[in-house]
Amino acid sequence: MLEKLQNLEDKYEELTKLMSDPEVINNPAEFQKYAKAQADLVEIVETFRNYKKVTQELDESKEMLKEKLEPELEEMVKAEIADLQEKKEKLETDLKILLLPKDPNDEKNVIMEIRAGAGGDEAGLFGAELYRMYTRYAENKGWKTEIMSAHYTDVGGFKEVIFLIEGKGAYSRLKYESGVHRVQRVPVTESGGRIHTSTATVAVLPEAEEVDVEIDPNDLRIDVFCSSGPGGQSVNTTQSAVRITHIPTGLVVSCQDEKSQHKNKEKAMKVLRARLLEKAQAEQMGELAEARRSQVGTGDRSERIRTYNFPQGRVTDHRIGLTLHKLDQILMGEIDEIIDALITTDQAEKLKQVE
């Protein structure tokens, strides 16, 4: 591990020199390439340098103990050794995590799809609450959100909503949200006060660039139609809504939220690219299915991952057995505590497989 870290530090130094070379400075594309490569190494190099510094201080303190010291000073040195040993062990763990293979999608924007599951109107209302939770979370992070496509229920919920979340590292934080979310509560429509269980399905897809997914225009069937609003009433007499069918896979995406046919087509293509990327990656991951199952979640949208229990004001993530009695705050978008716990568990599982 230390040899690998030293090689990365040497590479970092080499990139720093290259970036001060006048020829590179005068070539913006090359400079950009080196700057990105260097930025990717900053965290691991700084951690490694800190690790070397702590290791040196620890060795020096241990050498001091070999000398004859005053009892008081000896106690101080022993306390310092214990403190440095703890720091060293933590830095070693941090370095192992930083050396784990990076998910190539982590820095990408996210296309999130929420669909009402079992529970009729109540499932649609719960889907709308999940949508608000994620958009508030994005707002707290300084990320932008934009609805790509939405199909409403008659009572103000969503049959389905697809939206884009734009922000650095959005996928790295939200990728654990894929799966079935379950709500337990007394619906407003329930006169007998009985608790009902409803579900909504969340899918989190990394936004795919054109370079990530090559789509042959001949593989597409594009239909246009008049868009309609909640309850089926027409909101547009022009044919601005777009439905795109990817013939080889049978994937269908429709978008009708914009008044312009061009904008609807653009949004539909974004969703289609994301779904095709997810499909390709799922196929590649087929042989690693066992490894994925041993982690915090397979990302499978049929997996029940979380329960939101209103009578008890609690939220339970079933993958890691975490229960928080903070339902109101969580629905207001304060989900970092859950996400951090999922990331920590996932990293611990991956470290076990490496060791």
pLDDT on residue 322: 95
* Beta pairing class for 179-185 and 304-309: parallel
Stretches where the chain sits below pLDDT 70 are 189-192, 210-212, 227-238, 284-302, 354-355
Residue with tokens 């922000």: 167
Q: Which string of DSSP letters, residue by residue, matches 217-251?
A: GGGEEEEEE--B-GGG-BS-SS--EEEEEETTTTE
Asked if residues 37 and 50 have their Cβ atoms less than 8 Å apart, the reply is no
State which H helix or E strand residue 154 sits in. Answer: none
Residue with tokens 């439905």: 243
* Beta pairing class for 179-185 and 158-166: unpaired
- Fold (topology level) of 110-211+295-354: Alpha-Beta Plaits (3.30.70)
Asked if residues 189 and 106 have their Cβ atoms less than 8 Å apart, the reply is no
pLDDT on residue 301: 54
pLDDT on residue 232: 43
Measured CA to CA, the distance from residue 116 to residue 153 in angstroms comes to: 10
pLDDT on residue 231: 42
95, two tokens: 């370095």
Helices 2-19, 28-65: axis angle to 10 degrees equals: 140
Q: Assign residue 88 a region: left if phi > 0, alpha if psi is -120 to 50, beta otherwise?
A: alpha
Q: Which CATH number applies to 217-283?
A: 3.30.160.20
Torsion of CA 207, 212, 213, 216, to 10 degrees: 130
Q: What is the mean pLDDT of the chain?
A: 85
pLDDT on residue 298: 46
The structure's pTM equals: 0.69
Residue 312 amino acid letter: Q
Measured CA to CA, the distance from residue 301 to residue 254 in angstroms comes to: 20
Show me where the domains of the chain are located. 2-99, 110-211+295-354, 217-283
pLDDT on residue 233: 44
Q: Closest by alpha carbon to 130, among 204, 230, 202?
A: 202
Question: 3-class SS at 199?
Answer: strand
pLDDT on residue 234: 45
Measured CA to CA, the distance from residue 290 to residue 46 in angstroms comes to: 34
Non-local CB neighbours of 278 within 8 Å, separated by 6+ positions: 203, 205, 206
pLDDT on residue 129: 95
Q: Closest by alpha carbon to 352, among 298, 270, 282, 296?
A: 296
Question: What single DSSP character describes residue 207?
Answer: P
pLDDT on residue 40: 82
Q: Which stretches of the chain are DSSP H helices?
A: 2-19, 22-25, 28-65, 71-99, 120-141, 170-174, 261-284, 289-293, 327-331, 336-354
Structure confidence by residue, pLDDT tens digits, 26-68: 988 889 889 888 888 888 999 999 999 999 999 999 988 888 8
Q: Compute CA 77 distance to the chain's CA centroid, rounded to the nearest angstrom.
A: 44
Measured CA to CA, the distance from residue 138 to residue 153 in angstroms comes to: 24
Residue 148 amino acid letter: M
The HSE-up count of residue 312 (CA atoms within 13 Å, CB side) is: 11
